[in-house]
Amino acid sequence: MKSKVFFSKNITSDEVIKLYSLLGVNLKGNIAIKLHSGEKGNQNFLPPTFFENFINKVGGTVVECNTAYPGSRNTTKKHIKTMDEHGWSKYFNVDIMDSDNKKVTIDIPNGKIIKKNYVGSNLLNYDSMIVLSHFKGHPCAGFGGALKQLSIGCASSFGKAYIHSAGKTTSQKLCWLKMADDTTFQEAMADAASSIHNMFKGQIVYINVMKNMSVDCDCCAVAEDPCMKDIGILASLDPIAIDKACLDLVNASNDPGKDHLNERIDSHNGRHIIDASEALGFGNKEYELINID
């Protein structure tokens, strides 16, 4: 059966609420709202004002984890300061889930590349999750969407390095000498993503926003400006389907900037994460795109 992906060309805060309501899920307990807080200096990340109406309506806590590379978010102290400067703390409750390097391990018994996922320990405090992803390119993964938010996004600082190295590192800092090849990295991300989705299965939803689409991620302090016009917002219960739909919408666009974005995606075998994830059985790349406009 094809997964349902709801789509709207209207990119507004109220449209996020509308799409979420169509999913028909009543999230329970403490809700973790996973999004990208943006590296200091980045001009493309989606600001808290965009999500304000939605997050205030559903409740929950904005969650993040520290990075594994130098920058404004690689320690809890600096990350909290960046969250303050970007306005997240002004509007919402915020939780750096691996504060003070605290992490827990989630087993991935059917993982192809990695058998364990190291996540911020505070993840265990939540009963459900909303994954708010800014769809765009990425300098290592090719693109960032729901699957990358589940894997790298929910991983602790050490966990991020562990996934990037396909389980070879013993340090919480990225070592470029131990970085996995692109295909192996995509498969390790798929493994990690499966563990988070399965952890919250039935209590997790995905919203992707195709706006400010640069070839660079929000993790880049120095990023290229967007290369494509905005496309819309998507919502689904299936992280594989929603990312596949975004990739297909890029391909279907008549925007000449799509060639630049596709070049970035393909240069890192970015589409492979779709097949690798589907092979793990936690979603479906076959989908029905339901236009609500």
pLDDT in tens, 29-83: 999 999 999 999 999 999 999 999 999 999 999 999 999 888 899 999 999 999 9
As a whole number of angstroms, the distance between CA 219 and CA 66 comes to 11
Confidence of residue 101 (pLDDT cuts 50, 70, 90): confident
Given a cut of 60, whether residue 147 has pLDDT beyond it is: yes
Average pLDDT over residues 191-199: 98
Distance CA 252, CA 265 (A): 15
pLDDT for position 192: 98
Residue 175 is predicted with a pLDDT of: 67
- Asked if pLDDT for residue 90 goes beyond 70, the answer is yes
Tell me the pLDDT band of 174, cut-offs 50, 70 and 90.
confident
For the chain, give the percent of residues with pLDDT over 70. Answer: 99
pLDDT of residue 252: 98
Q: What is the pLDDT of residue 177?
A: 55
Give the closest residue to 41 by CA, choosing from 85, 88, 91.
Answer: 85
Does pLDDT of 287 surpass 90? yes
Confidence of residue 6 (pLDDT cuts 50, 70, 90): very high
Q: What's the pLDDT at 179?
A: 86
* Cα angle for residues 263, 264, 265 (degrees, 5° grid): 90
Confidence class for position 165, pLDDT limits 50, 70, 90: very high
pLDDT over 80 at 278, yes or no? yes
The H or E element spanning position 95 is: strand 94-96
Q: Beta-carbon neighbour count of residue 167 at 10 Å?
A: 17
The mean pLDDT of the chain is 95
Give me the pLDDT at residue 176, please. 63
Residue 261 contacts residue 250 (beta carbons within 8 Å): yes
Give the three-state DSSP class for 107. Answer: strand
